[in-house]
Amino acid sequence: MRIGIISDTHGLLRQEVVEAFEGCELIFHAGDIGKRTILDALQKIAPVVVVRGNNDNDYWGKQLPIESWTEVEGKMIYMIHHLKESQIAFENSDIDIVISGHSHIYKEDQKDNILYLNPGGAGPRRFGRPVTAMLLEIEEGIVKVQRMVL
């Protein structure tokens, strides 16, 4: 299964993301979406799992969940916008992959058999950091991550 992972679009969905996510079977957006139209455009590509970011404060944004749990190809994926706000003890859970956003810093980190992913910021360039997203492939229990610099 091919999965697109994005965060911190802040109202800007780049054409490079749309093109890179073509063929994905699922998309995760880790919050700070900015505009409902971002989710609408992503849903034209594949189903979207989304959580609310700290800047998603308008009416539609407040309707989004703070965190999500999704099982994909036998892997339990937990997502929250700001990882430090999670109340979960990951090391004592059935979670295989943790997705977060907020920092605008791309991260892939394996700790205690849990893969921690942050796609970085895919919207307007901020804090002098590169604009990034990621692709995740899960096949026969094997997880592969690909960094996308936009």
Report pLDDT digits (tens) over 3-60. 999 999 999 999 999 999 999 999 999 999 999 999 999 999 999 999 999 999 999 9
Q: What is the pLDDT of residue 90?
A: 86
Distance, CA of 6 to CA of 131 (rounded, Å): 10
- Give 77's strand partners: 70, 97
What was the pLDDT predicted at 89? 85
The residue ranking higher by pLDDT, 127 or 21, is: 21
The domain spans of the chain are 2-149
* Separation CA 61–CA 95 (nearest Å): 26
Kindly indicate the confidence band of residue 126, based on its pLDDT and cuts at 50, 70 and 90.
confident
What's the confidence (pLDDT) of residue 88? 87
Give residue-wise pLDDT tens across range 74-117. 999 999 999 999 988 887 789 999 999 999 999 999 998 999 99
Q: Does the domain made of 2-149 have the CATH classification 3.40.50.720?
A: no
Q: Which positions ≥6 away from 14 have C-beta within 8 Å? A: 122, 123, 131, 150
Burial of residue 131 (number of CB atoms within 10 Å: 0-12, 13-18, 19+): buried
Give the bridge partners for 149, in sequence order: 132
